[in-house]
Amino acid sequence: MSRFSPSDIRNFALVGQGGSGKTMITERLVFHAGASQRVGRVEDGTTVSDYLDEEIKRHISTSIGLCEFDYKGVRLNLLDTPGYADFMTEAQEAVRVADAAFLVINAGAGIEVQTPRFWGLCEAQHIPVAFVINKVDLENIDFDARVAELQDAFGHKVATLTIPIVSGPAFASFVNVLTGKVYTYIAGKDEASVSDAIPDAVRSDYESARVALTEAVAESDDTIMEKYLGGEALTQDELVMVFTKAFKKRQVFPVLGVSALKGVGCDYIMDFVSSYAPSPVEVSVQATRKGTDETVELQADPAAHVAALVFKTTSDPFVGKLSFIRVYSGKIGHEIYNGTKDVSEKIGGLFHMIGKKQEPADEGVAGDILVISKLVHTATNDAISTRDVTLDLAPIVFSQPLLMRSLKPKTRADDDKLSSTLSRLKEEEPAVIIDKNAETHETILSGLGEAHLQVIVERLQKKFGVNIDLEVPRVPYRETIKSKARVEGKHKKQTGGHGQFGHCWIEMEPNNRGGGWVFENKVFGGAIPKQYIPAIEKGMLETMNKGQLAGYPAVDIKVTVVDGSYHPVDSSEMAFKLAGSLAFKKGFEQCNPILLEPIVTLETIVDDKYMGDVMGDLTSKRGKISGMENIQGKQIIKASVPFAEMLNYGIDLGSMTQGTGTYSMKVNHYEEVPERIAEKIIADAKATMIAEEEE
C-alpha cells in the first residue's frame, strides 16, 4: 500500500532555456531532501537527472529526468526537462502530467528565445507557474530589472516573492515577501537559518514588494478584495490564504531568486511546492468515455475507476521497456487494461525513479507518477482504464518535425536490423516521422533538428547496435516533354532460324501536368496484330521508369500507336516490347524533354520581428509567397517552394529565428526546373550513373 495519499503528492516540472540551471537545481533539491549523497556537476557528468550517455557527452539534458522523493511528509515528483528546441517533446510530455511548473530564468541572460515557448506550454495546460531566477550570484546582476522584464513579457500578475539582500557573488540571503522572514545561508550548507530581522538596506524594497504582491493576489478573492479596497490591512493568515488560492488559479506568478551553484534558496523551492502548489486532489482533470462524447470528471481517489496516461516510453538495458505513467484516479496493481489498444497486460515491475535509480513500488495510487516495466503493447499517449469504464485522455500534442535525413546503414548487417530497430525507436520518440520512399529506396527520418537526429543515431548504435550515417535525402525529380513528334521504333534481328521483328510508328505529345500516362491504339487494317499492342505499351512503361535526361521517371506523356508492321514468323511480344522501348526513347529525345521538380506548400510561423528575414530567405529559395496572417503576435507565412530548397530548412529557420520558428510542408505539385539549375542536376546524375557502372 502506498505511504502517501493523493493529497500528499506534488507533481511539478522544471522548464526553461537550456543553460538556465534546471539540472543543478534538481541536484540541489534531491540532495537537500536526502535522496542523494552528494551534489553532482553537469560538467563532470555526475548529476542525478542527466545520466544518459548523450547527456554526459554533451553536458545538456536530452530527456526527462524523473526524481521522486519525500520532503517533510510530502511526496515530490520532480520532472527535470531539456531546454533546447531539439528536445522540446520532452518538455511537452512533462508539462502534460505536471500540476505546476517552475520556469527557470538565467539571471545573466534574462528572457531567452525559448522562454515564451515554455510559458506557452504551461499556459496551454492551465498549470500554475512560478519563475525561478537562477544564478543570482553572478557578477553585475540586477534582480529588479529581471523581474521587470518578466512583468513586461508576461503581465502584471508577475510578482516578486523573494528579494536577494545582496545580488552577485555575495548572494547568501533573501527576504520572503509573503512571510517577512529572512533566510541566510552559510557556505557548504544547503539549509538556511531563518529570522525576522529584515536589514534596513532592503526594508523599503520589501515593503513595496509586499504591497505589489498583496494587490496582485487580492483580486482572486472577492471578500479579501473588498477588505483591501476598504483600506483594511490583511492579516498574515489571510495573505497566505489568498496567495495560495491565487497561485493555484494562475492569478499570480511569483518570482524566486536562487543560486543552484551555491545552494542558496533551492530548499525554499521545495517548501514552496509543499505549501502552495496544488495536490492532485485539487486539480480538475477530464476524460471522455471511449467512443462517446460523454465527459467524465476524474477524482484523485484510489477507490475510483482507474484512469492513467502513458506520457513517455524508454528502455533500460537491464529491465527492458519502461512506460512512464501519471495515475489520475484509481490505483495500479499487478495488471493494467490499455483502453486505447483494448488489451490487458501483466506488469513486469512497478517503480518510482530517482534519475536512473529504480525503487520498487507495491502500487500506484491516484495522483502519482510511476514507471512500469515490460509492457508489450502499451505506447506513449495510451490511456489506462478498466474494461467496464474505458476512458480516453487528452493526448500529448508533439511538435512537428523540422528536419529530414536519409538513413544509410553502414553494413548489410545494419541494414537487416534497421526495420525492427526503427519500430522500437518510434516507441521512444513519438514525435519523429519514419517514411520509406519507394521511389528513391531511402528510409527518411524526420526530427526536431540536427542535434535531435544526431542523438537518435547515437542511441541506435549504443542501444541497438545499428550503425547509421545521416545524409540529405534525394529529391524525387521527374522528367517530361514539351513538344510533339512522330517517330519509328523498329527491332529487327536475324540469327538464323527464327529472327526477331517488331515495328511501330507512334505519335508522342505532352499530357496535362499531373495527367499521368495515356496510351492509345489507332492502328488500322491489321498493320500490327492486336495481341502485340500491349507489349508495345509494356516496353514503353518500363523505359519510362528511368528517363533519358537524368534517370528519373518520365511522367505526363501521351502516346498513340498509329502504324507499324510485323512478320508472320519472326514477330513476338518480346520483339514488339523492344520496338516500343526504342520508339519511346527516340520520341522522348525529339520532344524537347525537361526536368520537373516537386513543389511544396509551406506554412511557416515566426515572431513578427523575424518576418522580413524569413520572407527574404524564402524568396532566395525560389519561393513564391501566397499569403500572410497575423495571429497573436505571430506571422503565418504561406508559400510555394521547390522541395530541393527545403532539405535544410529546419536548420536555416532555426538560425534566422533563434530556434523559435516552426513550419509544416507538403508536396503539392511538380513544376519545370529552371534551365541553369536543370543542367547541373542532369550533369550530376549522369556522373553518378557512370560512377555506379564502373564500380
pLDDT of residue 496: 67
d(CA 589, CA 127): 66
Sign, CA dihedral 430-432-434-435, equals positive
- Give the residue extent of every domain in the chain: 8-282, 294-392, 403-471, 478-591, 597-677
Sign, CA dihedral 240-245-248-250, equals negative
Provide the residue count of the chain: 695
**Direct distance between the N- and C-terminal alpha carbons of the chain, in angstroms, rounded to an integer:** 68
pLDDT in tens, 306-340: 999 999 999 887 788 999 999 999 999 889 999 99
pLDDT of residue 563: 95
Strands 129-134, 100-106: pairing is: parallel
The residue-averaged pLDDT of 289-301 equals 92
The residue-averaged pLDDT of 649-663 equals 89
pLDDT in tens, 21-62: 999 999 999 999 999 999 999 999 999 999 888 999 999 999
Rounded percentage of the chain residues whose pLDDT exceeds 90: 78
The residue-averaged pLDDT of 465-474 equals 92
d(CA 551, CA 544): 9
Q: What top-level class would CATH report for the domain 294-392? A: mainly beta
The residue-averaged pLDDT of 74-94 equals 96
* Amino acid residing at 125: Q
Q: In degrees to the nearest 10, what's the CA dihedral of 541, 546, 548, 553?
A: 80
Whether 557 shows a pLDDT value over 80: the answer reads yes
Q: Which of helix, strand or coil describes residue 524? A: coil
The residue-averaged pLDDT of 216-234 equals 87
Contacts of 174 (CB under 8 A, 6+ apart): 162, 163, 164, 165, 182, 183, 257, 264, 265
d(CA 290, CA 219): 39
pLDDT in tens, 491-525: 998 776 678 999 999 999 999 988 999 999 999 88
Whether 659 shows a pLDDT value over 80: the answer reads yes
Instruction: Give the H or E element holding residue 238.
Output: helix 236-248
pLDDT of residue 317: 76
Whether 548 shows a pLDDT value over 90: the answer reads no
Q: Which residues of 98-118 are buried (b: 16+ CB within 10 A; e: fewer)?
A: bbbbbbbbbbeebbbebbbbb
- Closest among 68, 72, 115, 69 to 91, alpha carbons compared: 115
Quickly state the pLDDT bin for 595 (edges 50, 70, 90).
very high
> What is the Cα 220 distance to its own chain's centre?
35
d(CA 619, CA 625): 8
Whether 155 shows a pLDDT value over 90: the answer reads yes
Residue whose cell numbers read 545552494: 263
d(CA 579, CA 182): 95
d(CA 565, CA 529): 9
Strands 331-332, 369-373: pairing is: unpaired
Cβ atoms 11, 97 nearer than 8 A: yes
pLDDT of residue 189: 77
d(CA 600, CA 624): 11
Instruction: Give the H or E element holding residue 458.
Output: helix 450-464
pLDDT of residue 529: 94
Cβ atoms 470, 477 nearer than 8 A: no
What kind of architecture, by CATH, is found in domain 403-471? 2-Layer Sandwich (3.30)
Q: 352 burial class (0-12, 13-18, 19+ CB within 10 angstroms)?
A: buried
pLDDT of residue 2: 56
Q: What strands, in cross-sheet order, belong to the sheet with 391-392?
A: 295-298, 285-289, 391-392
d(CA 178, CA 174): 12
d(CA 440, CA 475): 8
* Amino acid residing at 250: R
pLDDT in tens, 401-440: 889 999 999 999 998 888 888 888 888 999 899 988 877 8
The residue-averaged pLDDT of 450-460 equals 92
Strands (E), 349-499: 349-354, 357-360, 364-365, 369-373, 383-385, 391-392, 403-409, 433-437, 442-447, 468-471, 478-481, 485-493
Topology, domain 478-591: Ribosomal Protein S5; domain 2 (3.30.230)
pLDDT in tens, 613-642: 999 999 999 999 999 988 777 899 999 999
pLDDT of residue 1: 47
d(CA 222, CA 209): 22
Cβ atoms 325, 309 nearer than 8 A: yes
Helix-helix angle 200-218:236-248, to 10 degrees = 60
- Average model confidence (pLDDT) across the chain: 93
- Lowest pLDDT segment from 85-99, 310-324, 527-541, 582-596: 310-324
Q: What top-level class would CATH report for the domain 597-677? A: alpha beta
d(CA 348, CA 318): 13
Whether 694 shows a pLDDT value over 70: the answer reads no
The residue-averaged pLDDT of 248-256 equals 97
pLDDT of residue 407: 94
CATH superfamily ID and name for 8-282: P-loop containing nucleotide triphosphate hydrolases (3.40.50.300)
Same fold, 403-471 and 597-677: yes
Cβ atoms 547, 588 nearer than 8 A: yes
